[in-house]
Amino acid sequence: MNGLIAALLRDFAAIQTSKQRRWGYQRAAAAVLALEEPIESLIQPDGTLRKIPNIGPSSSRVILEVLQTGTSPTIERAIADSGHVADVERRRDLQGNFLSRSQVLAALRNRNLVGPQIADYRGDLQMHSTFSDGSQTLEDIVRAGIDRGYRFCGVTDHSYGLPIARGVSMEKLAQQHREIDALNRKFRGRFRLIKGIEANILPDGSVDMLPEELAQLELVVAAPHSSLRVAADQTSRMVAAVRTQGVHILGHPRGRKYGARPGVTADWDRVFAAANAARVAIEIDGDPSRQDVDYQLAKRAVDAGCLFALDSDAHSTGELQFVETAIAHARLAGVPTDRVVNCWETERLLDWLRSRSR
Ligand SMILES: [Zn+2]
């Protein structure tokens, strides 16, 4: 219900002509998506909605309408009158299988689901530091990781091929590796930082770093950041990416964004079969606006025998909790805990990383 209402409020926002109202409904949609409880539990005995920050009176009226009738005649009428019906329908296609915060918490609590739990999770393998577009220092990552009960984290700043995200040069990467070595000495036996990178998958499926550069890294997440709005099939691009020597994780495989872009179109069963053959892990990216791959697609990767990486894609220590969204999708997909590389002992993880790098 939270997801349905948030989607309707976003539709409503999209057809507003006043910038201020558009912004107001967007903010209300975000507030509903972030609720920790089902919105129906916030109805008071007199039938009104309890006060929720960032949700104004006209959003409240719409919410009550949906709770009473399952839809919002007000919004549907406004869409029909707006002349933007096709636009709204296109956007609705881009919201498939996104979980609201309340659904994430329900999946984490649901004991009938198999799959990893937060307590099984030993470290995050995709995140960004101040070396590229993140706001967390390397030491912040270590301390936040220890606070969360982790034993390791992979630092995966953007490669130099993505200047828009302040991709790191090879010189800066060398400096980062010296800092990582120092932190690993300081926290020896307690925590291990892993030298990683998020490399771009180019249109031909190769990654935007040279083999001798990849060889300097312990962890390579290869992810698509271009051609994410084209309808043409890109199976061969993604298959080539997972077959690339030195790649460990296929990061946010589709590159979709909530309500904004569909991402890569591919025959995913073929991609997953190739990933499994290469022992490359399929990522579930827990950034709430990505949720990529989602539980439905993840189920097909389970059937293909794939390994999984459940990552936050955090750009600040506060975002490390995004991984809960990834864990929720894994539980809904029935991913066996032993196939989640983040749940492995540190040595087993490092062995797997080294076996792919050779
Ligand atoms: Zn990325």
| 19 alpha carbon – ligand 1 mean position (Å) | 30
Predicted model pTM: 0.89
pLDDT tens for the 358 residues of the chain, in order: 999 999 999 999 999 999 999 999 999 999 999 999 999 999 999 989 999 999 999 999 999 999 988 889 999 999 999 988 888 888 877 778 899 999 999 999 999 998 999 999 999 999 999 999 999 999 999 999 999 999 999 999 999 987 777 889 999 999 999 999 999 999 999 999 999 999 999 999 999 999 999 999 999 999 999 888 888 999 999 999 999 999 999 999 999 998 888 899 999 999 999 999 999 999 999 999 999 999 999 999 999 999 999 999 999 999 999 999 999 999 999 999 999 999 999 999 999 999 987 6
| 258 alpha carbon – ligand 1 mean position (Å) | 15
| 225 alpha carbon – ligand 1 mean position (Å) | 6
| 68 alpha carbon – ligand 1 mean position (Å) | 40
Is 291 in contact with 285 (CB distance < 8 Å)? Answer: yes
| 9 alpha carbon – ligand 1 mean position (Å) | 27
- 86: Cβ–Cβ under 8 A, 6 or more apart, which residues? none
State the Cα–Cα distance between residues 358 and 354, nearest whole angstrom: 6
| 224 alpha carbon – ligand 1 mean position (Å) | 7
| 177 alpha carbon – ligand 1 mean position (Å) | 21
| CB under 5 Å of ion ligand 1: residues | 223
Would you call 124 helix, strand, or coil by DSSP?
strand
| 154 alpha carbon – ligand 1 mean position (Å) | 14
Is 250 in contact with 222 (CB distance < 8 Å)? Answer: yes
| 228 alpha carbon – ligand 1 mean position (Å) | 12
| 127 alpha carbon – ligand 1 mean position (Å) | 9
Give whole-number Cα distances, 344 to 97, 257, 350, in Å: 28, 29, 9
